[in-house]
Amino acid sequence: MSILTRNKVCKYLFFFALSLLIGCVNSAPKQYPTPQIPASKFHSADLAMRLGRTIESDLIARSGEGNDRYSHIGIIIESDSGLVVIDIEPSTDKYMEQIKAQSLKEFFSPSKAIAGAVFRYKELDSIEINTLKTCAIRELNSSITFDHDYLLSDPTQMYCTELIEHIYKSINISLSEGRTQRLPLAKEPVIMPSGISRNKNLEKIWSYDLRALRDSIR
């Protein structure tokens, strides 16, 4: 998830650089190994989170609370082609800013993420899981586009955490439990990935950090 629109990046980075004392970032791309994804452990309604490789992603993760530092989230569902992640994110191509489905391999690709995890909401029954899957597919087939204004009050556009919160509310569960944060340039309080990962009913069933893996095989 990016709390930025392309024309606001500089202002946002400057503001957070002052508040978080971000140091210099090496612009040279780093090579990371591909994570081994245990897809057989996952099923519909699991939550996929990742930490992106961009400066914006790092700032989003740092601005959250708790020990888990992620910048983007999607929901896993079973499809005819296997498990996919349904999510929404900003893009330079406006036609790519709609809700989409991508493979686990693509979602956790080293080109997009340096760390990630899959969480499961405890004790969901089969009816609830099917309801979540149905809702996720319905949103996938909708015309909803990415919300660059980050307005929870506007259901016609959504950002990543808002989408997942909305899907889970179809079974009367608030993943964020009301946790929001005020961020620069955002008109309304924003649901952060950390606001969801801190839900005590979520259990982490898999995680990885490519930085640690890269260092271990040197």
**How is the chain split into domains, by residue range?**
6-23+39-216
Check residue 101 and give its pLDDT: 97
Residue 213: predicted pLDDT: 62
Q: What pLDDT, on a 0 to 100 scale, did the predictor assign at position 183?
A: 84
The whole-angstrom separation of Cα 44 and Cα 131 is: 10
How many angstroms separate the CA atoms of 145 and 143, rounded? 6
State which residues of the chain have pLDDT below 50: 4-28, 217-218
Entry pTM: 0.84
Tens digits of per-residue pLDDT, 142-177?
999 999 999 999 999 999 999 999 999 999 999 999
Residues sharing a CB contact under 8 Å with residue 67, sequence separation 6 or more, in sequence order: none
Largest CA distance in the chain: 49
Whole-angstrom CA distances from 138 to 99, 132, 171 are 10, 10, 15
Is domain 6-23+39-216 annotated with CATH 3.90.1720.10? yes
Q: How far apart are CA 195 and CA 95, in angstroms?
A: 29
Cα dihedral: 110, 112, 114, 119 (round 10): -110
The alpha-carbon radius of gyration of the chain (Å, integer) is 17
pLDDT value of position 2: 54
Which pLDDT does position 217 carry in this prediction? 46
